[in-house]
């Protein structure tokens, strides 16, 4: 909350520090006001929370339950397994699908993280320029990034496949990271531009009037203001990269780079005709654990990024 008013500029930004004070005063007020009917309101919120929780977590629980069913228990017609069996987890950790699954997991994590970092760094620079600076070609950048995000991934795949074969990027990490940028960059640019647009630019202008270069203004005023937005954008970008399926099935062919969503199509039952329902469910649960951990771990940052973000300062 205090990031806005850097010491040397506090004098030049009376507007915002005043705003900051109002904020502090306001956010302190509601609890006092709510004190009266606390009990019922609290209960109401908890009921709502439980309902949301069921909606959000039920499908995950469902596939978790499926992952503990034996092949012939799958058709028992009930949510819970008749008896809890770990046979599907054995299949993906020590059984036939071990190599397939573990390498895919490593590929997914590595490729997605790199694609996210690159996209967010580049998008932050780009979005700042778009939201803040006058330069020729601004509209072009936005139009192109919109077109990029609109273009159906399906139709990029075949031409990319041919180029990648020629220059040796087929079935490599880099060969997925670059197309992933086409997924993560546009949304990062647009989201960040929207964020940046709503930052109180008077601060920046004040800093510039005060004699700072645009770059200094960017570093000292805007970066702290924008950081929460950038972080949120990074998470959005990561989940988009993590989620990719089409590039994953089209631009890889071995364990070298095949990510998890694509690898799920490679699971198999004891024979080619048996449905790998159990193994897929188990793998699905395993790849969901990192997401849950990530969400638990970064929830505060996301919340901070979104609620105490740019505008509220």
Partner 1 sequence: MSTVSAPERASGRRRVRSARAKSEARLGMMLAAPAFLIMLFVVLYPIVQAVWDSLFSFRLTAPADKEFVGLKNYGTILTDPVFWSDLGVTLLITVVTVAVELVLGFLLALVMHHAIKSTKGLVRTMILVPYGIITVVSAFAWFYMFSIDSGYMNSWLSWLPGVDANLNWFAQGSTALFVIMLSEIWKTTPFISLLLLSGLAQVPGDLTEAAAVDGATRWQRLTRVILPNMKAAIMVAVLFRAMDAFRIFDAIFIMTNGAYGTEALSLLAYRTSIGRLEIGLGSAVSVILFLCVALMAFIAVKGFKVDLADRGGNQ
Partner 2 sequence: MTTPPTRCGRGRMLAATGLAAAALVLSGCAADDGGGTPVLTWYTNPDDGGQATIAQQCTEASDGRYRIETSMLPTEASAQREQLTRRLAAGDSSMDIMSLDPPFVPELAEPGFLAPVPQELQKTAQENTLDGALAGATWKDELVTVPFWANTQLLWYRKSVAEAAGLDMDKPVTWDQLIEAAEAEDKYLGVQGARAESMTVWLNALVAGGGDEIIVDPEASADEMTTNLAGEAGTKAAEIVSTIGKKGLGGPGLPTQRENEAMLQFQGDKGSFMVNWPFIWAATNASVEAGDLPEDLPEDIGWTTYPQTVEGHEAAPPLGGINLGVGAKSEHQDLAWDAVSCITSAEHQADYFVTNGNPPADPKAYEDERIKDAYPMADAIRDSLDIAKPRPQTPYYNEVSTAIQQRYAPVSGVNPATTPEETNTFIEQILRGERLL
Which CB sits closer to partner 1, 5 or 182?
Answer: 182
CB of 45 to partner 1, least distance (A): 5
Q: How far apart are CA 124 and CA 117, in angstroms?
A: 11
Neighbours of 186 (CB within 10 A): 21
Q: Verify binding: residue 151, partner 1, rule CB under 8 A.
A: yes
Helix (H) / strand (E) element for 79: namely none
Question: Interface mask (CB under 8 A) for partner 1, residues 254-293, using x and -?
Answer: ------xx--x----------x-x--xx--x--xx--xx-
Among 79, 81, 83, 85, residue whose Cα is nearest residue 54:
79
Q: Which stretch binds partner 1 (CB under 8 A): 5-13, 71-79, 82-90, 91-99?
A: 71-79
Residue bearing tokens 């992933």:
180
- Selected from 14, 37, 44, 168, the binder of partner 2 by CB under 8 A is 168
CB of 175 to partner 2, least distance (A): 9
- Selected from 138, 255, 302, 304, the binder of partner 2 by CB under 8 A is 255
Provide CB contacts within 8 A for 129, sequence distance 6+. Answer: 135, 138, 141
- Selected from 172, 205, 208, 301, the binder of partner 2 by CB under 8 A is 172
Where b means 16+ CB within 10 Å and e means fewer, 253-285 reads eebebbbbbbbbebbbeeeeeeebbbbbbbbbb
The DSSP 8-state label assigned to residue 77 in this structure reads S
Provide CB contacts within 8 A for 46, sequence distance 6+. Answer: none
- Selected from 60, 153, 178, 304, the binder of partner 2 by CB under 8 A is 178
Q: Verify binding: residue 91, partner 2, rule CB under 8 A.
A: no
Q: Which stretch binds partner 2 (CB under 8 A): 15-23, 33-41, 146-154, 262-270?
A: 262-270
Task: Give the interface with partner 2 as residue ranges (CB under 8 A).
Answer: 70-75, 82, 96, 98-100, 103, 110, 114, 118, 161-162, 165, 167-169, 172-174, 177-178, 249, 253-256, 265-276
């Amino acid at each position: 909350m205090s990031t806005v008013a850097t010491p040397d500029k506090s004098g030049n930004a009376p507007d915002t520090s005043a705003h900051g004070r109002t904020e502090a005063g306001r956010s302190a007020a509601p609890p006092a006001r709510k004190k009266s009917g606390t009990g019922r309101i609290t209960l109401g919120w908890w009921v709502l929370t439980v309902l949301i929780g069921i909606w959000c977590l039920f499908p995950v629980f469902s596939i978790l339950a499926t992952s503990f069913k034996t092949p012939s228990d799958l058709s028992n017609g009930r949510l819970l397994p008749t008896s809890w069996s770990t046979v599907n987890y054995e299949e993906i950790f020590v059984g036939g699908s071990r190599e397939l699954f573990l390498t895919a997991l490593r590929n997914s994590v590595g490729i997605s993280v790199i694609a996210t970092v690159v996209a967010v760094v580049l998008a932050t620079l780009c979005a700042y320029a778009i939201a803040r600076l006058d330069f020729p070609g601004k509209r072009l950048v936005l139009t192109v990034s919109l077109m990029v995000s609109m273009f159906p991934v399906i139709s990029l795949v075949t031409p990319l496949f041919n180029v990648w074969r020629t220059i040796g990027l087929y079935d490599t990490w880099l060969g997925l990271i670059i197309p992933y940028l086409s997924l993560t960059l546009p949304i990062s640019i647009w989201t960040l531009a929207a964020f940046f647009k709503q930052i109180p630019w008077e601060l920046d202008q004040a800093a510039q009037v005060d004699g700072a270069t645009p770059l200094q203004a960017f570093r000292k005023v805007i970066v702290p203001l924008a950081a929460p937005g950038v972080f949120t954008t990074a998470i959005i970008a990561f989940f988009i990269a993590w989620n990719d399926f089409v590039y994953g099935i089209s631009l890889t062919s071995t364990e070298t780079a095949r990510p998890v969503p694509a690898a799920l199509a490679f699971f198999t039952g004891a024979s080619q005709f048996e449905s790998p329902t159990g193994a897929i469910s188990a793998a699905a649960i395993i790849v969901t654990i990192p997401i849950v951990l990530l969400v638990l771990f970064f929830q505060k940052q996301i919340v901070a990024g979104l609620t105490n973000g740019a505008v509220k300062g």
